Amino acid sequence: MTTRLAVLYGGQSGEHEVSCRSAASILAHLDREQYQVTEVLIDRDGGWHVDGQPTPLPAALRVLRAQDVVFPALHGPYGEDGTVSSLLEWLGVPYVGNGVFASAAGMDKGVTKRLLAAEGLRVSPGVTLRPGEDLSPDDQRRLELPVFVKPARAGSSLGVVKVDDWAGVPAAVEQARQVDPKVLIEQGARGREIDVAVLQHPDGRVQAGPPLEIRVTGAGFFDYDAKYDGGAIFQIPAPLDEATTEVLQDRAIRAFQALDCRGLLRVDFFLPTEGSPEPIVNEVNTFPGFTAASQFPQIWQQAGIGFAALIDILISGALADQDHSHHSGLPRQARAVDLV
């Protein structure tokens, strides 16, 4: 018996193209004997297309509602931020990945930092500037250069500027506000860049994969261009001792639990090369890049879970989650802790 599956991708965010690439990889690796696949594209203007045909929104929603499960391969605002999760909850259709709260909290870097810090995880000092606010002298004294100025609610390092001189902050804030009016100024962390992928299996077991180390070629940092134009080298597993690996994996799972995640998460760390060895959580991704070249699938490939098997695990988890809700009588969001 085939499973009716819709892959939902595109969207109106600045990561439309990345989403299309993620979806193309997912579609290429789906077993068509196991899944009856429908492609649902949201174009840059917000128009909906089902299997390549322009489709009015009510009809597109009926298509989604008729599925056994939806795989939202969306990145950034209007996709990864809880908006589509809430739509699918409202439609009552099972879907792969994180629910409304985890998606919304994970998209806002300032909120993420507060939740992780409350869990006892280490984060870099920073300040959130809302529209109209500027960096105060007190905050400037508290932070050390360099700082990174980031849009609070955007992915793929869009609009992120590294600032080495306080005089450069206003222009960097203005640039970040082109992406999001809410801006995070964060003290730059010195250390090795390590990513850890977290995967929830259909039986509820949560597993952290082998750490991945990012080495950026050239003098830059891991920005949008480095991510997608080959300016970085991934080393999996990262050359770390066993104890450090275990600490990173433990902190990644704690971040997954602190944000009430479901299905998957990628946690990006800085591993300090001096001072306290406790890893610093830099960012989280509630739906990380899903091309064959992306960190998340590569990490699980190294762990012995190929791309097709990874997709199957996530889809089976979404269906198992739905089955559990019928037996528990609880809404999907209320059950996330049960499965951890």
Feature table: binding site for ATP: 109, 148-150, 156-157, 186-193, 282-283
3-state secondary structure of 328: helix
Q: Name which of 170, 94, 182, 175 is nearest 130 in CA terms.
A: 182
Q: Which pairing describes strands 35-42 and 3-10: parallel, antiparallel, or unpaired?
A: parallel
Q: How far apart are CA 306 and CA 8, in angstroms?
A: 22
Known binding residues for Mg(2+) are: 268, 283, 285
Q: Chain centroid to CA 140: how far?
A: 29
What CA–CA distances, in Å, run from 309 to 207, 254, 300, 303, 330?
Answer: 15, 25, 10, 12, 29
**Residues with catalytic function:** 15, 156, 294
Q: How far apart are CA 87 and CA 245, in angstroms?
A: 38
Q: Chain centroid to CA 157: how far?
A: 12
Q: How far apart are CA 218 and CA 187, in angstroms?
A: 22
Residue 190 is given by DSSP the state P
